[in-house]
Structure 1
């Protein structure tokens, strides 16, 4: 496991964030978002005003990033939502685990009562297993809701944890 520090992202972190999220989103295997976004589109997505964005640092560089936001507006704003991405070369080193634990604590600090992941792709077995280890339950299955570039139409899960 890498010694990880998690902090709020700054504008200076954008090149490192872009280097992580760009290839992951272009691969189209884990996020239900257009795969052809240019750098401005990626920036607008990851750093949108509703996102509180963090970076995970280790080995003197950014190894992961996540955002925290309200899952819904109005009467659903008490439930948090997050998106996490780890640099490919840092996978398996506890970065995603550290980011998720940090996000759960930050969500509690902000007064959220629960956290929900709306669309966890079933073929992302590492993420599904990690989220379950960290207390998330699969509360719904969306049959064939994700069109995976290699596996075709696969299920997506709604995962939930009360805070």
Structure 2
């Protein structure tokens, strides 16, 4: 059971990273790119809602919560990294240095972690706007993600404790109603 809760998110993150490196990001960004990023962020939010519900119902809510965090954060980071690759590809010089996929991922993690080493910086207005959107989304999403996932885990733990207490019955030998 523990192995399943470890392998599922590791597999999901591995698949996301492989898809990121294989995705056709060699085109100029356009309105469709902005819509794709917005759709990706909505997909991220839908994943979080799904995970919160699954955590609350899970027999092992804390493990399921950890699984959700390990899956959701990389998805968010890879969405923005893909956006930065597209921006750089379509408008060379949008960042202080040219970005390949790994550089874009590095920049995304730097923004997410708020360390901003200063080696890569957005230069054009489009790159700066997307970076600001990432900063705001990171702060809001991370706060909501943590609150929602941890809250759902607590609900799941309470539900499990109440169920276990009900099954034990008043004498601790189990109840006929379980």
Q: TM-score category by the smaller chain?
A: under 0.3
Q: Which has the higher contact order (CA 8 A, sep 6+)?
A: 2
Compare the two structures and name the one with the higher helix fraction. Answer: 2
TM-score (norm 1): 0.26
Compare the two structures and name the one with the higher strand fraction. Answer: 1
TM-score (norm 2): 0.24
